Amino acid sequence: MRIVALETLRPAAQPNLLLLQLHTDQGVAGLGEAFFGAAAVEAYLHDAAAPVLLGSDDPAPERTAARLAPYVGYQGGGAETRGNGAVDLALWDLLGKRAGLPVVDLLGGAVRDRIKAYNTCAGPGYVGSSSRQASDNWGLAADGLQRPYEDLGAFLHRPGELARELWAEGLRGMKVWPFDQAAERSGGTGVDPAELERGLAVIEAIREAVGFQMDLMVELHGLWNRPAAATILQALAPYRPFWVEDPVRPDAVEALARLAAEVEVPIATGETLVGRHGFLPLLRCGAVDVVTLDVGWTGGLTEARKVATLADTFGVPVAPHDCTGPVAFAAAVHLVLSQPNGLVQETVRAFLRTWYGELVGGLPVVQDGQIVPPREPGLGVHLREGLAEHPDVRRRTTRLET
């Protein structure tokens, strides 16, 4: 099997998304994906990755990951890492299609017959305009409530009603971020008591609506310094969050370790960390209770499964990140189902029920708050017919010269 063409697609429906197809001489294509900085990743893939991939015989994920490892910028999660992650996902997809097996089987097989899902309460337009994590990139409609599945506006304005709605669907976990705007106003240096109360009111309304049976994750997006984060976590403790995510930047290892030691709230982090070398310092000092690795941003499934094994060595569960695109979501499902320390899988119903389904078919199904192992060969997802030719999709192809 030889790679004969590298094709990228940038759909207008989600400007941050880059879809990748690796076409082979056997007429089979592997599907990958990168998220954030789509134009930069596109340029990297065609200008730097394509010369390595095109004409490569039997391109195995592990060997290709080593060949594509950059020298400059190898410690960061920039365009090279995200591009290599997209290539890796596509190669695992090809490997599964060639074997006639789902990727979860190639990773050793599912260790459970289903995995619990939770809903990240974003809306369809969330993080659609840039890579910045800021409220002006939330994609809210003018009144915050108009579009279907506008869960971000809902948790801000009617959190109890949203919690009951998710509960009725069978979901037993939800994630919200009611403190972000307070962080923007203070630069993360301190939380005003009135703003703290406003954020806590969202949490209290959810608890009043559905009680403590709902796993409640609170996202802080790494916007705070340690003293301010400690104030928020201590205030959240009586509400028994399932975890608090990214209270400070995940590369602030000492700050996270000290924070973990002084509060009695589980801390989750890791979606923006890259590889084993990014996670090891946090695991060594006990700074993380749940690893939220992102299969694309950490470099692909090849590296993600090693991170999961590393976390398992320290007795820490993994809960893969998904607030990006449909291919990464499918890959995360295969990963978490194959790992003995797989805890829960993030989902975004606002994405699954809108632009995910417009772009691909074969998505893992979330039913009654659970996801079962996909059984189609490879990652199981495929591009919608005609997507590549759609006028709202930017298409670029680099072919093997013969």
Fold of 3-100+382-399: Enolase-like; domain 1 (3.30.390)
Per-chain mean pLDDT for the chain = 95
The sign of the torsion formed by the CA atoms of 195, 235, 346, 21 equals positive
pLDDT in tens, 236-271: 999 999 999 999 999 999 999 999 999 999 999 999
State the pLDDT at residue 146: 65
Would you say the pTM of this structure is higher than 0.85? yes
Fold of 105-371: TIM Barrel (3.20.20)
Residue 391, judged by CB atoms within 10 A of its CB (0-12, 13-18, 19+), counts as exposed
Share of the chain above pLDDT 70, in %: 98
State the pLDDT at residue 57: 84
Over residues 138-161, mean pLDDT: 84
Does the structure show a pLDDT above 60 at 189? Answer: yes
Look up residue 296 and give its two tokens: 């694309």
Q: Where are the domains of the chain?
A: 3-100+382-399, 105-371
pLDDT in tens, 341-387: 999 999 999 999 999 999 999 999 999 999 999 999 999 999 999 99
Over residues 66-88, mean pLDDT: 87
State the pLDDT at residue 213: 95
State the pLDDT at residue 279: 97
Query: Which long-range contacts does 305-308 make (Cβ < 8 Å, 24+ apart)?
Result: 305/107, 305/335, 305/338, 305/339, 306/275, 306/276, 307/270, 307/275, 307/276, 307/279, 308/335, 308/339, 308/341, 308/342
State the pLDDT at residue 131: 80
pLDDT in tens, 383-398: 999 999 999 999 999 9
Q: How far is CA 299 from the centre of its chain?
A: 12
Indicate the range of 85-94, 140-149, 228-237 predicted with least confidence.
140-149
Same topology between domain 3-100+382-399 and domain 105-371:
no
Which band of pLDDT confidence, cut at 50, 70 and 90, is reported for residue 145? low
